[in-house]
């Protein structure tokens, strides 16, 4: 009896589409894991000292007091220099008028009236026009005490808030931020150096063009020469 022929094993047909989808899903997961970057927001809270201590332009009164004794007939030399310096500050500020306040009802009221012509003369010699000087009187608070002559004018000033505020604990540095008072002194020094606070409000107008200098530059350009200023020759003892 002849043996029965061998039957080849049959392979089960597995659909290829689910396998491909699973592979693509795994690959997508791996790529997304590689691209998982931690987004850290830095500086979301304003930490600029110029914001905490801004320079503000406001109107303020500039004044000096001249002490007058009942027996005075002339200004002391120290007060003469103070009046002259105050006149220069008045002219630089661009204010319209200066007020000279004379006390009345005090022991030194008569002496203050005697010094008024000298003060007006000092201001006039310091190039303050007479029509810009306004003389007024004010009542003395204490008739027994000497009341000063006050010179004043209103002008614009640049200033910041007072320094020295420490609202937070300086040892709490977890956020790595500067302290509240940081930068206040720098802002105050910058405000004090501003000659004309109006420059912070709007720029100045442009001055006229120097026609002579412009002609010189054009002539050098036509000749092919350097139009810029030449560097100064500096003598040095160093030998390199």
Question: Distance between alpha carbon 218 and the CA centroid of its chain, in Å?
Answer: 39
Block residue for tokens 């003395």: 140
Sign of CA dihedral 164, 167, 172, 173: negative
Q: What is the pLDDT of residue 18?
A: 63
Where does 94-236 have alpha helices with state H? 109-125, 184-192, 198-201, 211-223
Residues 227-233, mean pLDDT to the nearest whole number: 74
- Tens digits of residue pLDDT in 174-196: 878 888 889 999 999 999 999 88
Map 6-53 to HEC letters: CCCCCCCCCCHHHHHHHHHHHHHHHHHHHCCCCCCCCCCCCCCHHHHC
Residue 194's Cβ-count burial label (10 Å; 0-12, 13-18, 19+) is middle
178 contacts 81 by C-beta, under 8 angstroms: no
**pLDDT confidence of 20, banded at 50, 70, 90?**
low
- Tens digits of residue pLDDT in 125-140: 999 999 999 999 999 8
62 contacts 155 by C-beta, under 8 angstroms: yes
Q: What is the pLDDT of residue 37?
A: 52
**pLDDT confidence of 123, banded at 50, 70, 90?**
very high
Say if residue 74's pLDDT is above 60.
yes
Say if residue 103's pLDDT is above 90.
yes
The structure's pTM equals: 0.58
Q: Between 154 and 5, name the one with better pLDDT.
A: 154
In angstroms, the CA 26 to CA 84 distance is 88
Per-chain mean pLDDT for the chain: 82
> Could you give the percent of the chain with pLDDT greater than 90?
40
Q: What is the pLDDT of residue 61?
A: 93
- Token pair for residue 194? 């501003």
CATH T-level assignment (fold) for domain 59-157: 60s Ribosomal Protein L30; Chain: A; (3.30.1330)
- Pairing mode, if any, of strands 149-159 and 133-139? unpaired
Provide the residue ranges of all domains of the chain, joining segments of one domain with +: 59-157
Residues 29-54, mean pLDDT to the nearest whole number: 64
């Amino acid at each position: 009896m002849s043996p029965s022929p061998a039957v080849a094993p049959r392979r089960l047909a597995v659909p290829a589409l689910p396998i491909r989808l699973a592979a693509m899903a795994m690959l997508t997961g791996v790529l997304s894991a590689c691209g998982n970057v931690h987004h850290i927001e830095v500086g979301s809270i304003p930490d600029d000292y110029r914001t905490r201590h801004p320079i503000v332009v406001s109107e303020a009164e500039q004044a000096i007091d001249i002490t007058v004794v009942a027996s005075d007939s002339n200004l002391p030399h120290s007060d003469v220099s103070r009046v002259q310096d105050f006149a220069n500050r008045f002219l630089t500020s661009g204010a319209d008028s200066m007020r000279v306040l004379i006390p009345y009802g005090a022991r030194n009221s008569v002496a203050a009236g005697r010094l008024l012509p000298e003060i007006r003369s000092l201001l006039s010699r310091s190039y303050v026009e007479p029509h810009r000087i306004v003389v007024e009187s004010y009542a003395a608070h204490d008739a027994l005490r000497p009341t000063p002559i006050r010179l004043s004018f209103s002008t614009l000033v640049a200033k910041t808030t007072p320094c020295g505020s420490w609202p937070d604990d300086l040892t709490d540095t977890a956020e790595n931020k500067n302290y509240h008072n940081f930068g206040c002194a720098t802002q105050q020094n910058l405000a004090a150096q501003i000659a004309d606070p109006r420059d912070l409000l709007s720029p100045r107008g442009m001055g006229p063009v120097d026609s002579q200098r412009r002609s010189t530059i054009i002539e050098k350009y036509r000749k092919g020469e350097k139009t810029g200023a030449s560097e100064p020759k500096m003598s040095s003892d160093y030998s390199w």
